[in-house]
Amino acid sequence: MGLYIHRSERTDALLSGLADLLTEAPADPFTPDIVAVPTPGIERFITQGLGRVLGVSEGDSDGVCANVSFPSPSVIVNHAVARASGVEPTGDPWLPHRAVWPLVDVIDRSAAEPWCAPLAVHLGLAQGPDDERRNRRFAVASRLAGLFATYASQRPQILREWADGQDTDGAGSPVPADLAWQPMLWRALRDEIGTPSAAERLARADSILRQDPHVVDLPERLSVFGASRLPADQLLVLASLGAHREVHLWLADASPSMWAELPETTSRRREDTSATVASHPLLRSLGRDAHELRARLRREWPDTADEHLPGGLTAGTLLGTLQCQIRDNENPRLSQPGPLTVTQDDTSIQVHACHGPARQAEVIREAVLRLLQSDPTLEPRDILIMCPDLDVMAPLLSAAFSTPSHSLRLRIADRTPEQANDVLNSLAALLELSTGRVELSTLLDFAGRPPVRRKFGFDDDGLERLEDLTALAGVRWGLDDNTRDRFSVRLRTGTWAWGLDRLLLGAAMSEDGLALLDGVLPVDDVSSGDVDLVGRFAELVTRLQQLRDAMSQPHPVAEWVSILGGALTDLMEVGGPDAWQLPNAAGAVAALADNAVGYAASVSLSLADIRWLLAEALRGRPTRSNFRSGDLTVCGLVPMRSVPHRVICLVGMDDAVFPRISALDGDDVLARDPLIGEREPHNEDRQILLDAIMAAQDHLVITYTGADERTNEQQPPCVPLGDLLDTLDAMAVTTTAAAVRDQVLVRHPLQPFDVRNFTGGALGGPEPFSHDRAALAAARRGAEPRTPRPSLLLDGLPAWPVTQVSPQQLGEFLTSPPKAFLKTRLGMSVRGEDDPPPEQIPVSLTGLTRWQVGDRILRLLTRGESVDDVAAAEWARGQVPPGQLGAEVLGKIGREASAVAQRFKGFATGQPRQVSINLTLPDGVRVIGTVPDVYNDTIVRSTFSRAKARDDVRLWTEVLALAAAQPDRQWFACMVSHNADMRLRAPAAPEALRILAELVDIYRAGMSSPLPLPADSSRSYTKCRNDGSDVRSAVYKTGYRSWQRNANDRMQPEIVALWGPDAPISVLLEQRPAVEENWFDEDTRFGMLARRIWTPILEAREEL
């Protein structure tokens, strides 16, 4: 009996030693062996390894790993202490998830105590209520319960001293003055729980375990495998168990030669000098956790049997040489027989600098495929990908490895059923929604979650339609007035309740007449097909309001379970292969009350507290079946640390991510002056990198963000990776004059279709780096000679038969012939990128919104509506700012619109009428339609904006039709605008008929190929030419005024679709006039047609 330490630089050697130990069966064949492991990944590694040894028939490999239990070391220790002290392990009231409930109660009752003042202020429990601070209560209590559990595990002496009334730190110093409240709080918690803490029970348990080995039902032999750090309670209890049992500690020890060289050291980390023994720079910079564990074991287990198991490392490659030098604690600069010469084909260590995480996922895929291609014996099961930030990299890696051209199966091992449960994730989103402002996009995103959309029958088209309808309704944020009240905003306009009232009213009535029902203006665009959709969405919002009201007040946890269970039933539905998600979520919700024990009814929790509890439930714990399944495994850094694989990939080793940036917990007494062996995440990550280096058997592949995706600015590697590259430079030379890091480090281009990915030797190695067929096709295409983008379907379409056209159709064509061609001839509707709907309460109006408001007011005023009714409708529409801001804006717009309306009425005398048009042109084409807004002999229109070219050309075709159809009178067309008024004088009937015929000819030509005739540029060019400018000057002025400066024409969606974004004005000048198009001295079709259309318009136009 006793303690045994087995060390090796490789865990596969440790596994062989463990297998040899377990081959000797215990005296009782029904007694299980116990192998404590820190993670499920190491458990899977051991079971598969033992299965190849235990129970194997001679000459066969039919072994099995059975009757072996794999608890964690903490489970063994807690079990032993609980048995020795008579406390059931699972019912220990000092477990953090149980202790938090009485701790919340203690905090509430102690808030007025002087010693509790710092905590009371932090939680908003002093000097009046503070809801925002109160929302921290459960999260802070949970963190404190976790800290107390950490104290009990890592430095139990501190709690024993607190129990004795001493406010000390467990290492001979007083507790810092700003943390003096902690011992008092812990003692109050101790009184509330009424049983000794685990730290108090530990000393007595140690004595009992040494005296009576049968008090705990553990076998005569147990092992602890793969631990990189053992806290004080585990070291003590394992030593106690070792008094009557064999306790074997299997340690991954990167440098066995350092074991005997470690000096005696003090207990405080700031005084520790063990790192000075390390000659190898990586042992010095990365191996602190291992140094401290060695030092602690030597001090606390002084007479322990110690065995080193050789790892069989060889120095044939750069990786192997590095591992051997680390094992031997050898300074690489003093290595004998001198530095290693690294050849070009040595790819045992690869570092890839990429443009961001997404590119890293693509690069690691190609690196893995290259290794698989170069070594037929390598299989996906031999490759492990570890990520410091798995939440970021997991979806990117899944996408990168899921392309059709690759058949690699990828398994994300660090995922639990809870994390994959859409119902639970939707419930968490609901809680977040209920604590937030409930913006337009947030609630629509919630409605699009699979369980919610299934419950309410939303499909993709329905959700898209809801986006349009809710934006039309003017929804900004807030479910209703109550949501706004929480943010001290007392305004109903723009809330979901207000917007849904508008939509539901719009299903029953139109906006005509400006009828307001209880101050609500209907949305005018709700069709009969939208009624059911709007009703279902209104039901969702109503249920959310009811849940929000229920969750806005604190409740005991038992009531919270009922509320959340109702939310699952009312808002979510699943089926088919996802049917397990709802009962799984209901079980997770019900479990929230299990740990409250006697406090479930007395401790009230806020919504913020429940959010924290549910977030804890979502974390879950991955099972061992996710690891080493035969697929290529992806996991975080911890689960498979030190597990050997032929290829180990570290992906996402960015400077901002690794090592973890762990801010000092200001409430952690241990962190103020830590002892050696106590946990520190920053050092833990560094140790993980060292473990990964030693675990890689053939290849170590590392990727990091080495350049900014937007600016291409180079970024440095994380510090530990920089240490590795420095070490490689010190230990080896290349066959060229380059440094080793320049051979090992490959800087990848931004895009996967960059030609360098497919050029041998461009990215390391003689063969092309990429295997992506789609990217190869893109690279080949990109390498072809560049030619200007051709216009879309300029030639080849048959002539467009025109037998009938209306004046409006002709005028709309002339505003933008390219748009008419795409829409009418090709059936294409092109739109620019729409800005997302606003989600803020407006405090001012954008230019577009101001025009929309002004144009609506003007249209209603010219229709005869009263100013008061129009203003009331605008207030009810919700586009103007609230209060005085809105009154000022609306008043100014109203005055401007009224001025235009007054001038409009000066032209629009008499009653408006519509004039029917039925003309036959000389070529037989009929012009049929009606011309509205005719007052006496004048078409009168108005606009709140400045009159534009498109307004002129629309009026022109209509007034031409009137002049040709009714030649007995002089016809006019008048546009009353914000800045000025203008009038078009129609020519005589024969001339009007001739011009109409020419415009129809242009229309016919424009339906066969897109004519480069945007309205603003056409008018500008014609003005310049008619004023005497030559072609070059006219093009320059047109480009400056209408094409480049304001981008009115250049950025129109139809222009972008045909000629690309940021097209130069020269695209308008590429076509030459047809033979019959010879009216002016122009050598471009643009110039010829522009002058043909606009010369008579400009001659007929007069400012008023």
The three-state DSSP-derived secondary structure of 653-718 is CCCCCCCCCCCCCCCCHHHHCCECCCCCHHHHHHHHHHHHHHHEEEEEEEEEECECCCCCCECCCC
Distance CA 637, CA 642 (A): 10
Residue 258 has pLDDT above 70, yes or no: yes
Distance CA 981, CA 994 (A): 27
Distance CA 904, CA 130 (A): 59
Could you tell me if 28 and 137 lie in one domain?
A: no
Six token digits for residue 969: 């009178």
Distance CA 215, CA 192 (A): 28
Could you tell me if 711 and 761 lie in one domain?
A: yes
Q: Is residue 857 part of a domain?
A: yes
Residues 6+ away with beta carbon under 8 Å from 603 = 101, 104, 105, 108, 556, 557, 596
Residue at token pair 């070529």: 923
- Report, as an integer, the average pLDDT of 492-507: 90
Do the Cβ atoms of 741 and 728 come closer than 8 Å?
A: yes
Beta bridge partners of 696: 645
- What CATH number should be reported for the domain holding residue 12? 3.40.50.10930
Residue 624 has a pLDDT of 45
- Report, as an integer, the average pLDDT of 732-747: 91
Could you tell me if 932 and 1067 lie in one domain?
A: yes
Residue 963 has a pLDDT of 92
Distance CA 286, CA 658 (A): 12
pLDDT in tens, 678-723: 988 888 999 999 999 999 999 999 999 999 999 999 999 999 999 9
Do the Cβ atoms of 213 and 243 come closer than 8 Å?
A: yes
Distance CA 342, CA 728 (A): 10
pLDDT in tens, 46-90: 998 888 888 777 766 678 888 899 999 999 998 898 888 888 777
Distance CA 630, CA 410 (A): 10
Do the Cβ atoms of 1085 and 1075 come closer than 8 Å?
A: no
Tell me which DSSP letter residue 529 carries: G
Q: Is residue 380 part of a domain?
A: yes
Single residue among 194, 214, 237 that ends a domain in this structure = 194
pLDDT in tens, 205-218: 999 999 998 899 89
Q: Is residue 945 part of a domain?
A: yes
Residue 164 has a pLDDT of 94
Could you tell me if 900 and 916 lie in one domain?
A: no
CA distances from 258 to 292, 484, 803 (A): 12, 65, 96
pLDDT in tens, 532-583: 999 999 999 999 999 999 998 888 888 999 999 999 999 999 988 889 999 9
Q: How confident is the model at residue 37 (pLDDT cuts 50, 70, 90)?
A: very high
Q: Is residue 224 part of a domain?
A: yes
Residue 935 has a pLDDT of 92
Residue at token pair 């508008």: 502
Single residue among 889, 907, 925 that ends a domain in this structure = 907
Tell me which DSSP letter residue 175 carries: P
Q: Provide the H-helix boundaries in 795-948.
A: 807-815, 817-820, 847-862, 867-877, 883-907
Residue 356 has pLDDT above 70, yes or no: yes
Q: Measure the CA angle with vertex 360, ends 358 and 362; round to 5°.
A: 75
Residue 245 has a pLDDT of 92
Could you tell me if 613 and 471 lie in one domain?
A: yes
Residue 14 has a pLDDT of 95
Query: Cis peptide before 183, with omega less than 30 degrees from 0?
Result: no
Could you tell me if 612 and 638 lie in one domain?
A: no
Q: Measure the CA angle with vertex 353, ends 350 and 356; round to 5°.
A: 135
- Report, as an integer, the average pLDDT of 125-139: 71
Residue 334 has pLDDT above 90, yes or no: no
Tell me which DSSP letter residue 785 carries: P
Distance CA 253, CA 785 (A): 58
Single residue among 135, 160, 194 that ends a domain in this structure = 194
Q: What are phi and psi of 919, to 5 degrees?
A: -115, 150
- What CATH number should be reported for the domain holding residue 404? 3.40.50.300
Beta bridge partners of 973: 939, 984
Among residues 587, 486, 496, the alpha carbon closest in space to that of 543 is found at: 496
Range from 33-37, 185-189, 506-510, 896-900 carrying the lowest mean pLDDT: 506-510
Residue 1016 has pLDDT above 60, yes or no: yes
Q: Is residue 775 part of a domain?
A: yes
Q: How many residues does the chain have?
A: 1104
Distance CA 1101, CA 1079 (A): 21
Number of domains in the chain: 6
Distance CA 160, CA 203 (A): 9
Q: Is residue 791 part of a domain?
A: no
Residues 6+ away with beta carbon under 8 Å from 846 = none
Residue type, 508: A
Beta bridge partners of 746: 352
Percent pLDDT > 70 in the chain is 94
Could you tell me if 827 and 855 lie in one domain?
A: no
Distance CA 385, CA 381 (A): 11
Intra-chain end-to-end CA distance of the chain, in Å: 111
| Element counts in the chain: helices (H) and strands (E) | 43, 24
Do the Cβ atoms of 810 and 1000 come closer than 8 Å?
A: yes
Mean pLDDT estimate for the chain = 87
Q: Measure the CA angle with vertex 646, ends 334 and 69; round to 5°.
A: 110
Range of the domain at 239: 2-77+206-313
Q: Is residue 674 part of a domain?
A: no
Residue 723 has a pLDDT of 95
Residue 1047 has pLDDT above 80, yes or no: no
Could you tell me if 120 and 148 lie in one domain?
A: yes
Residue type, 196: P
- What CATH number should be reported for the domain holding residue 103? 1.10.10
CA atoms within 13 A on the CB side of 998: 20
Could you tell me if 288 and 154 lie in one domain?
A: no
Q: 194 in the Ramachandran plot: left (φ > 0), alpha (ψ -120 to 50) or beta?
A: left
pLDDT: which is higher, 188 or 421? 188
- Other C-beta atoms closer than 10 Å to the C-beta of 720 total 19
- Report, as an integer, the average pLDDT of 804-823: 90
Q: 86 in the Ramachandran plot: left (φ > 0), alpha (ψ -120 to 50) or beta?
A: left
* Beta strand pairing call for 349-354 and 745-747: parallel
Six token digits for residue 505: 């009213």
SS3 302: coil
Residue 228 has pLDDT above 70, yes or no: yes
CA distances from 520 to 77, 215, 467, 516 (A): 67, 76, 20, 5
Could you tell me if 466 and 603 lie in one domain?
A: yes
- Report, as an integer, the average pLDDT of 270-292: 87
Could you tell me if 778 and 817 lie in one domain?
A: no
Residue 181 has a pLDDT of 95
Q: How confident is the model at residue 670 (pLDDT cuts 50, 70, 90)?
A: very high
pLDDT in tens, 616-649: 766 655 544 455 566 889 998 988 889 999 999 9
pLDDT in tens, 1064-1088: 777 777 778 777 777 887 888 888 8
- Other C-beta atoms closer than 10 Å to the C-beta of 141 total 27
Beta bridge partners of 1028: none
pTM for this entry? 0.78
Residues 6+ away with beta carbon under 8 Å from 661 = 682
Beta bridge partners of 341: 733
Question: What angle do the packed helices 232-241 and 288-300 form, to 10 degrees?
Answer: 40
Q: Is residue 837 part of a domain?
A: no
Beta bridge partners of 174: 168
Distance CA 746, CA 763 (A): 6
CA atoms within 13 A on the CB side of 344: 11
Do the Cβ atoms of 293 and 677 come closer than 8 Å?
A: yes
Q: Measure the CA angle with vertex 701, ends 695 and 707; round to 5°.
A: 140
Distance CA 709, CA 714 (A): 10
- DSSP strands (E only) in 750-813: 804-805
Q: Measure the CA angle with vertex 135, ends 131 and 139; round to 5°.
A: 160
Could you tell me if 593 and 641 lie in one domain?
A: no
Range from 257-266, 721-730, 860-869 carrying the lowest mean pLDDT: 257-266
Distance CA 641, CA 635 (A): 10
